[in-house]
Structure 1
Amino acid sequence: MLAEFLVAQALGAASRPRIEWDAYDVVTPDGVLVEVKSSAYVQAWTQARPSAIRFGGLNGRTWNETAGYADSATYNADVYVFALVTARDHASYDPLDLRQWTYWVLPRRIVEATGQRSMALSRVEELAVAPVSHGGLAEAVRVAAEAGERL
């Protein structure tokens, strides 16, 4: 939820309440549908080593009140934002420090072309142009939306 809020804030969309069961996490003021996937090396529990980074739930079955769940899973956003808290130990971990967040942004057509339900960080890094900071997120989402297919 924090990652979704931070992305919404960066995109100027934090004032719109999130609707449960929506097929995406954020709608930009320009109507771009954004799915946020987040991960971190450090978890709340004691760890022998930092977590391996993997982003799951890339596609899913949509749901609505009248029809229930869709028959098949689809990629439901225009743009996917992969958010990572980069701290590697509990002593330095501060998810409210925006400098600790790194983002990769991909248009739906690239995520969909993988056919994957989840992706390791290494695959996201291969597919994305470059990582961006919190301050560069709005521009990266705009560029990805223009480069991809809008729903």
Structure 2
Amino acid sequence: MSADLGPLTVTRRSGSESILANGATVGSLGDFWSWACSDLANNTMRGVLAEYLVALALSSATGTRTEWDTVDIRTPERWRVEVKSSAYLQSWAQSKLSKVLFSIASASGWDAQTGTSSTDVLRRSDVYVFCMLHHQDKQTLDPLDLDQWTFYVLPTRVLDEHCPSQRTISLASLRRLDPLETGFSGLRKAVVASCAEGTA
């Protein structure tokens, strides 16, 4: 691969950077973020927020997020963490609360550094963190209030043993697998315990 076409070095931005047209400032990166990312209840942005919350708990929120890595978070301890999110409430009008489902599908892998894919279809993490935005009152929903979240932590090997080809899992089925359930303050401890169990 030509060095000119290798991976970009992405540096963390502050939000104060200007958007320029013919040398004149027409907006800012922070304005763009506010425009694009303020709806934290939609499935896409809630999922990114969930990844950040887990990374924050695991002291892995430095640098920048890698969009297409084979796992969501790589910790300083070299734990590989997959993060999934779900919620009862959505941004759109609802006639009832949403059914809680988490994706657990195996997948092929893609290496962001080399731009190559692996054809092996499997779960590549050591542990899954299922992030449940459990709040059920739409008028007071605030995904930034971590008291509105519950986290379920499970070694990946448990999913491989009990749900080898399953693509999604309901909250009730997940609970039957006996994950560690915690609030944000206990999340790191739960991941440490699950990673230890997963390699035992």
Tell me the TM-score normalised to structure 1 length.
0.92
Residue 158 of structure 2 corresponds to: 110
Matches within 5 A, 1:84-99: 84-99=132-147
Match of 1:54 among 101, 119, 135: 101
Structure number with higher strand proportion: 2
Q: Alignment partner of 2:108: what SS?
A: coil
Are the equivalent residues in 1 in contact too, given 2:128–2:155 (CA < 8 A)?
yes
Equivalents in 2 of 1:108, 1:123: separation in Å?
15
SS of corresponding position for 1:44: coil
Seen in structure 2, the aligned counterparts of structure 1 residues 133 and 73 have a Cα distance that, compared at 3 Å, is same
Name the stretch that deviates more: 119-128 or 58-67.
58-67
Q: Which residue of 2 aligns with 1:63?
A: 110
Moved more, 141-150 or 48-57: 141-150
1:37 maps to 84
Cα offset, 1:70, TM superposition: 2.6
Unpaired segments ≥5 residues, structure 1: none
**Post-superposition offset of 1:71:** 2.2
1:107-139 Cα deviation digits (max 9, x unpaired): 010011111221111111111344100000000
Q: In the alignment, what sits opposite 1:134?
A: 184
Once the two structures are superposed, the pairs formed by residues 66-81 of structure 1 within 5 Å of their partners are 68-81=116-129
Q: What amino acid maps onto 1:47 in structure 2?
A: Q
The gaps in structure 2 that reach 5 residues or longer are 1-47
Higher helix share: 2
* CA RMSD between the two structures: 1.7
Aligned residues: 150
Partner of 2:98, secondary structure, is coil
Contact 1:104 1:128 in 2 (8 A): no
* Separation of aligned partners in 2, 1:44 and 1:92: 13
Aligned to 2:4: none
Matched residue SS, 1:5: helix
The structure with the largest alpha-carbon Rg is: 2
Structure with the larger RCO, 1 or 2 (CA within 8 Å, 6+ apart)? 1
